Amino acid sequence: MTIAKIDLTQRLKGKVAVITGGASGIGLATAKRFAAEGAIVVIGDFNAEAGEAAAKLVDGLFVQVDVTDEDEVNNLFDSAQATYGSVDIAFNNAGISPPDDDSIETTELPAWQRVQDVNLKSVYLCSRAALRHMVKQQSGSIINTASFVAVLGSATSQISYTASKGGVLAMTKELGVQFARQGIRVNALCPGPVNTPLLQELFAKDPERAQRRLVHIPKGRFAEPEELAAAVAFLASDDASFITASTFLVDGGISSAYVTPL
């Protein structure tokens, strides 16, 4: 009896993957991981210089995009389809966490709205654009970046960020259920705090607030972007073929912790 060999380093071979926020942080780490697993990568980012560099790094395509603009989002996914013939994976990852998004008592409406647009409206637009292609194919995997704060309250409040990520999680569940029988899986990645430039900036500006976050993580450290990328690659692959509408927590145990270990 011959047992078929599976090359797990090529799980995504030939798949066309679109990544928003792909020029830095989790997005860039995922672009590298996708490429290593054989995917064709399309980087969508607002930063043209960083986006071009990221695309060159993974031998992919860069499309500049404002993820809050419907026409630009449609162009991103249509360009992937036109260039490579399909849209198999959408990692809707772009997001912001600006300092003027804080407690509900101090966060003003413009700050609230900007975060909602970039973090939640963009996922609606990107999912919609990806689904136009995936429904025709009757296949695809969408991974939306939510957060651990979508499932528990944060003492270091970012009110609009938290609300936006809760919206991403709820929308993801609905889409995962709605399109399950059309061969399309939709899952929410819920990271804990990740060691990205955004978090490093927080450390520099407010070490006490950053330490308040770190102390509650049972693992005792922040995640590395590559650890999130590994989770996204799994969700994108056929190894996750029975996983949809899920809250995929990669948070070092923070959402299950009552007190931190000694």
Active site residues: 161
Cβ neighbours, 10 Å, residue 237? 18
- What one-letter code names the amino acid at 102? D
For residue 176, give the nearest of 168, 188, 167, 186 by alpha carbon. Answer: 186
Tell the burial category of 88 from Cβ atoms under 10 Å away from its Cβ (0-12, 13-18, 19+).
Answer: buried
Exposure of 252 in the CB half-sphere (CA atoms within 13 A): 21
Tell the burial category of 38 from Cβ atoms under 10 Å away from its Cβ (0-12, 13-18, 19+).
Answer: middle
Query: Are the C-beta atoms of residues 192 and 254 closer than 8 Å to each other?
Result: yes
**Ramachandran quadrant class, 21 (left: phi over 0; alpha: psi -120 to 50; beta: rest):** left
167 to each of 80, 117, 183, 188, 193, how far by Cα in Å?
Answer: 27, 12, 24, 11, 19
- What one-letter code names the amino acid at 244? T
Measured at the CA of 175, the angle between CA 173 and CA 177, to 5 degrees, comes to 70
Query: Are the C-beta atoms of residues 250 and 192 closer than 8 Å to each other?
Result: yes
Query: Are the C-beta atoms of residues 19 and 44 closer than 8 Å to each other?
Result: yes
